[in-house]
Structure 1
Amino acid sequence: MNISVDELLNIKETDARAIFEGVKYPWEALAKIKVFILEYAKNLPDDFERIDEFVWVGKGTTIDKSVLIKGPAIIGYNCEIRQCAYIRENVIIGNDVVVGNSSEVKNSILFNKVQVPHYNYVGDSILGYKSHLGAGAITSNLKSNGTLVTVKYGTEKIETGLRKFGAILGDLAEVGCNSVLNPGTIIGKDSIVYPLSSVRGYVPNNSILKNNGEIVQKK
């Protein structure tokens, strides 16, 4: 199935790869983040600094003085956490990641080299290797009626059992500015979402989602 962990994510590009053991769908890892961080932190390398009770930061990472971080959180090596960013509990950030000005990340996993550089919200989501959110793009993680999130995959509706679940971005996925990824959205590997899109359901690997909802294969 094209929405499995193996189809969407290169787990070698996160130090949290063990969180995906025994997991079929990526979103199953979301409920495991807090416990994983607290256990994993016990054996972090010596070049991680503990900057708060439950916050650990790797060597070479810069954090602007206006940033607010609420643990548990692990931030990897050589990241940029820019002004007014908000890291809000249960967050695993890989290496060489940019969390930009006024961006918020909550209960999420960001693989290596992810960029969420301007006014982004990432809630209850997983962003694969080198994926990127354009300015103002957000993951909406709660349905307006508060019911459990389902994933629309072709004609199927897959029950997640989660009340809060934003999106999964496959490796190298690119989301255009001011787009909204509705709860349960899956963007495949190396796919592009046009700016100003409202996305729901599944966008296959190596595809382009246009503003009119049309999905075409990349050439």
Structure 2
Amino acid sequence: MSGRFAVILAAGQGTRMKSKLYKVLHQVCGKPMVQHVVDQVQNVGFDETTVVVGHGAEQVKDTLRGEVTFSVQDEQLGTGHAVRCAEDALTGKKGVTVVLCGDTPLLTAKSIEKLIKTHEAAGAKASVLTAVAPDPTGYGRVMRNEAGHVQKIVEHKDASEEERLVSEINTGTYCFDNEQLFAALAEVTNDNVQGEYYLPDVIEILQQQGQTIAAYQTESFDETLGINDRVALSSAEAVMQARINEYWMREGVTLIDRKTTYISAEARIGRDVVVHPNVTIKGPSLIGEDCEIGAGSEIVNSTLGSLVHVRQSLVVDSEVGSGVAIGPFAHLRPNTKLEDDVRVGNFVELKKSTIGKASKVSHLSYIGDADIGSDVNVGCGVVTVNYDGRNKFKTTVEKEAFIGSGSNLIAPVQIGERAFVAAGSTITDDVPGEALSIARARQVNKENYVKKED
């Protein structure tokens, strides 16, 4: 029975990135570039996917663990040698093997699938993914015969003037008969200037054996972009972001200015959401329907229900219910949960706290390590004093309580149901339900004080 196998080459060091981070782990729209490749391969559906790792192997394994198997290329001796490092995983298996590069994050499942179908329809032993390059300088040219099959691949430096006029280029992605691939790799030598074993040499070997070599030309050259430096990384980011933004607009999301809107590849957005300019949505954020994300807001790894309005605010690692209003200029720090119909106003900071249904924290307050019940009103300038210099403590405010402006709640402390805290109080002891607590110095007026000082 024939199978489908994928080999992803991810062993190169990427010195031109000039980075401490291993090349294929550099992110494109919030996701490591090699993860993009793996995701597209999984969308196609393969029986087995092997990632060939070398430099930074453990980091790549940590990123992809559980999704693929790994082969190790201890020495980087060329693409042919890299594929041979996966031989133990695939030897003797019947079917097609697709070889891809881990630094081509823009390649789509659609193109991979069409390459395989072209390969199978032609009865080919090898097939090449090609593209028409606006400027093919430096790329290997794909020369076809009258039947449309690949006659040869000519490297730019070896091409004649006539051959250099050809704009169809080799992208470095291939489809092979698995058994023929490894049989031909055994014949590849490193008799070249670089002293490396080149995968394209397999094409020449199979041609000399009279085997059919097919090709599928991608619809977009951008898909084939390989990332070797920061300039290419930026180009890939722009292409991917345009692709993501167009997808969400076609799914019913309004982007007021798509050129200044950043949406990660992992985010999910409901219909009739309006996103204003200069908004950033990072990580696996989930935004429900009918939300409005105001200009300059940033949503990071957070879940928003429906009918949420965020104005010029930062929401990080938080959970927001439906009908919630946030901002302007609010900061939701990690582990914050807002239940439905909560109001969080301007210059409010929340951290590791739950705000109950229909409660309000309207202005200039800090709520940290707190559990606020439903229908609570937190006045202007309220602070939960949760840290004594060594440990954090919890503040609990039960439902329908009222916390007056300028109050300090010294944790650990509990404010009972329907209790009242008078404005300007510093609360150090629990307040019973329905009680009024006043904790401030009695006002004393010194008459004619200024005149005496004069």
User: Deviation digits for residues 54-113 of structure 1, max 9, x if unmatched?
Assistant: 20101111000x201111x11001011011100000011100001110000000111101
Partner of 2:329: 84
Give the drift of 1:138: 1.1
Asked if 1:57 corresponds to 2:285, the answer is no
Structure having the higher strand fraction is: 1
Shift of 1:185: 1.3
Paired with 1:212 and 1:171, the residues of 2 have a C-alpha distance of 24
Do the aligned residues in 2 keep the contact of 1:170 with 1:187 (CA within 8 Å)? yes
Q: TM-score, normalised by structure 2?
A: 0.32
Deviations 1:24-78, CA, capped at 9 Å, x for gaps:
xxxxxxxxxxxxxxxxxxxxxx8997155620101111000x201111x110010
Answer 1 or 2: higher relative contact order, Cα 8 Å, separation at least 6: 1
Q: 1:197 aligns with which of 421, 425, 441?
A: 425
Q: 2:427 and 2:439 mapped to 1: Cα distance?
A: 9
1:31-180 equivalent positions in 2, closer than 5 A: 50-51=286-287, 52=299, 54-64=301-311, 66-71=312-317, 73-144=318-389, 146=390, 163-180=391-408
Size of the aligned set, in residue pairs, is: 149
Alpha carbons 1:106, 1:122 under 8 Å: kept: yes
Deviation at 1:212? 4.7
Deviations 1:163-190 (A, max 9, x none): 2124100000101000000111110000
How many Å separate the matches in 2 of 1:141 and 1:120? 13
CA distance in 1, matches of 2:440, 2:310: 39
Closer/same/farther in 2, CA of residues 168 and 97 from structure 1, 3 Å limit: same
Structure 2 stretches lacking a partner, 5+ long? 1-269, 274-284, 288-298, 442-454
Q: Which amino acid aligns with 2:428?
A: R
1:158-216 deviations in Å (ceiling 9; x for gaps): xxxxx212410000010100000011111000000000000012101110002359xxx
TM-score normalised according to structure 1 size: 0.64
Partner of 1:112, secondary structure, is: coil
> In 1, distance between residues paired with 2:310 and 2:387?
29
Residue range with higher mean Cα deviation, 52-61 or 116-125: 52-61
SS at match of 1:202: coil
More helix by share: 2
- CA–CA distance in 1 between the matches of 2:343 and 2:393? 22
CA distance in 2, matches of 1:53, 1:195: 35
Provide the C-alpha distance between the structure 2 equivalents of 1:111 and 1:165, rounded to a whole number of angstroms: 19
Indicate the percent of aligned positions where both proteins have the same amino acid.
Answer: 26
